[in-house]
Amino acid sequence: MHQQACGTRTSTSEASIDAESRPRPILAFLLDLGAIASFAVAMLALIAMVNPAFADLPTSVPSAERQFELTRFVRQECGFCHGLRLTGGLGSPLTAQALAGKPPEALEATILYGRTGTAMPGWAPHLSEADAAWIVAMLLKGFPE
Ligand code: HEC
């Protein structure tokens, strides 16, 4: 039925078909592109929601696993100088009270790049900016055990 309708049109006039049918593939192509693009965006959004590694990118919060690693890392490596309870030793105390009011960005920079002229080394080889930001946020709240 459908084919017959097409067939009759083809036989009527070649010129009118050219004018009518040429823009159609382009339109169909553009519609397809739009559909593919929105599908891709939807898939990326879905991946970002489902995959914690992707979800971390915009929010910059280390994964739960990484947070666990960081907690042990701070207790061991930083505790070496700042005291096992982070109440101070060779390094200054890192308790919430001691750090209260200090700008988080400055503390993050100290952790990542150290403090020249002091024993505080830079930890950028081991910690990302997100890691340092998380550590500072936790220190300011009172570091977890
Ligand atoms: C080798 C010893 C040493 C180690 C290890 C160390 N620190 Fe320090 N840190 C210091 C010293 C000393 C200071 C004080 C610098 C000063 O006098 O300004 C300091 C200062 C800091 C400060 C600034 C505190 C303030 O009141 O401004 C932060 C934050 C800090 N350390 C975090 C860390 C973290 C987090 C780690 C582990 C990733 C770490 N430190 C490991 C020696 C150390």
Closest listed residue to residue 134, CA positions, set 79, 60, 56, 76:
60
Closest listed residue to residue 138, CA positions, set 116, 107, 115:
107
pLDDT at 25: 72
- List pLDDT tens digits, range 27-50: 677 777 777 777 777 766 655 655
Q: Is 70 in the pocket of ligand 1 (CB under 6 A)?
A: no
For tokens 């009270």, what's the residue? 97
**What does the alpha-carbon distance between residue 61 and residue 69 come to, in Å, rounded to a whole number?**
13
For tokens 């050219």, what's the residue? 18
> Does position 133 have pLDDT exceeding 70, yes or no?
yes
Closest listed residue to residue 77, CA positions, set 105, 114, 45:
114
Which stretch of 25-34, 49-58, 99-108, 120-129 has the lowest confidence by average pLDDT? 49-58
Pick the atom of ligand 1 nearest to 136's CA. 29
Contact 141, 86 (CB under 8 A): no
14 alpha carbon to ligand 1 midpoint, in Å? 83
Q: What value does the mean pLDDT take over residues 96-106? A: 97
- List pLDDT tens digits, range 56-73: 444 589 999 999 999 999
Of all protein residues, the one whose alpha carbon is nearest to atom 6 of ligand 1 is 78
Of all protein residues, the one whose alpha carbon is nearest to atom 8 of ligand 1 is 120
Is the whole model's pTM more than 0.85, yes or no?
Answer: no
Of all protein residues, the one whose alpha carbon is nearest to atom 39 of ligand 1 is 78
